[in-house]
C-alpha cells in the first residue's frame, strides 16, 4: 500500500506530494525519495538531519562559507 507524503523545501517552502511505499524509517530513504520526486535531499551529519530543497541553488543559498548547512534557515531577500 502506497503512502502519500509532502516534501517541503527548507529554503522557500515549496511543497510537492510524493507516493512512497512506506513511511520513512531512515533519513537516506527520505533523501532518495526526494530525488525521485524531482527535489534534492542532503544529509546534514553535523546536526543529524536530512534537508530537502526544490533545487541545488536553494541548497547552496543555505550553506555557510565553509560548506556546512546552517542550524536555522537563512531569511530570503
Q: 23-40, pLDDT tens digit by residue?
A: 999 999 999 999 999 999
Between 1 and 15, the more confident residue is: 15
Quote the pTM value: 0.88
Domain for residue 75, yes or no?
no
Domain count, the chain: 1
Q: Return the pLDDT at 77.
A: 67
The 10s digit of each residue's pLDDT in 43-70 is 999 999 999 999 999 999 999 999 999 9
Q: Considering only CA atoms, which of 45, 32, 39, 41 is closest in space to residue 14?
A: 39
The beta strands (E) that lie in 1-77 are given as 3-8, 15-20, 40-44, 49-53
Has residue 18 been placed in a domain?
yes
Give the position of cell 522557500.
Answer: 12
| Residue 72 resides in a domain | no
Domain that holds residue 37: 3-61
Domain-located, residue 70: no
Q: With contact defined as beta carbons under 8 Å apart, do 61 and 10 qualify?
A: no
In a domain, residue 71? The reply is no
Whole-number pLDDT of residue 6: 96
Per DSSP, helices labelled H in 20-75 are 27-36, 56-61
Amino acid at each position: 500500500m502506497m503512502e502519500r507524503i509532502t516534501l517541503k523545501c527548507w529554503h522557500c517552502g515549496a511543497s510537492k506530494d510524493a507516493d512512497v511505499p512506506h513511511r520513512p524509517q531512515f533519513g537516506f530513504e527520505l533523501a532518495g525519495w526526494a530525488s525521485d520526486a524531482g527535489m534534492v535531499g542532503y544529509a546534514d551529519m553535523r546536526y543529524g538531519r536530512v534537508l530537502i530543497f526544490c533545487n541545488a541553488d536553494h541548497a547552496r543559498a543555505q550553506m555557510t562559507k565553509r560548506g556546512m548547512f546552517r542550524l536555522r534557515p537563512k531569511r530570503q531577500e
